[in-house]
Structure 1
Amino acid sequence: MGHEPLPPLVVMGVSGCGKSTLGSLLSDRLGLPFQDGDDLHPAANKTKMGAGIPLDDNDRRPWLEEIGRSLRQSQDAGEPLIIACSALKRSYRDLLRQHAPDVVFVHLTGDRETLLARMNARDHEFMPSSLLDSQLGTLEPLASDEKHVLADFSLDPPLLVDAICGQLQH
């Protein structure tokens, strides 16, 4: 937006916040490619989560490395990627920034009750609602040195996209 090329974007937050939906809508609005980070999980991670077992940092590292490489490659190709990725911990975001230092995190925030209702209303391949509290407990707030936009996922998606795009311009 403006005269500066857009950086890669990571639409982040816990399960049920709308990362994939918003990432796709942002992709349409900004004319950038979108990738759902869930598609990059190794099969073993999907199996573990599907059984209701939270991933540990060792499980996540190869997945985050793959996401980081995708962000870097897209930026190098001149088509910054928008990717949906929970990016719950500072250390995960730091790893992504090692690959793509200009990345901006779009953090979708809101209340637990809405998240739980959304998760219970959908059929997700490997993320049962029983893992929500684990994710909320793992989530570390973004720090001032992490380029980010905060966005309330309770807004209607078109309004949320407008709000995010407005913040990206500043």
Structure 2
Amino acid sequence: MALPNLATCSRTQTLDYFDNGWTLTEVLFSGLRGEEAFYRPPYHHLRHPMIFYYGHPPALYINKLRVAGLIAEPLNPYFERLFETGVDEMRWDDMSKNEMLWPSIQEVHAYRQQVYAIVRRVIETHPGLASNHPPITQNDPLWALFMGFEHERIHLETSSVLIRELPLNRVQRPAEWP
């Protein structure tokens, strides 16, 4: 799906693009079999467990929407700190998070659902997406929304590579795949 034209995008186009990226993430993660697949660090220890990549995009949405002034309050300050930053492959001390007790899959899924509703509400109500809106530029608060869309898509690639590195008994074909 092509990125909406930021000079002319409608609410519907913006929502469709958001829904597409969000759904792709949900489908990709439905390919993980069992809790161990979410919590097992990669064999190379250069990245976090998959639970991080399930919670990271929604935390970025909340953090960026807050900085842009599109929402006023954090949703879950603990999650927004925990899932805020990935790893720098050149900093070996970044991996201490892998030793921690991560939130449950159910908690992260519930957080994702809440974030989805918040992002959807911004798309459906923000006046900057009204008909004949001016182009959305880097100086526009809505830029944070589109940054979130693309950030989620980047992590589809990261996550798919990490899923391929899991043992075969920890993955399954998502029901939605052809």
TM-score (norm 1): 0.31
Larger radius of gyration, structure 1 or 2?
2
More helix by share: 2
Q: Using CA pairs below 8 Å that are at least 6 residues apart, which structure has the higher relative contact order?
A: 2
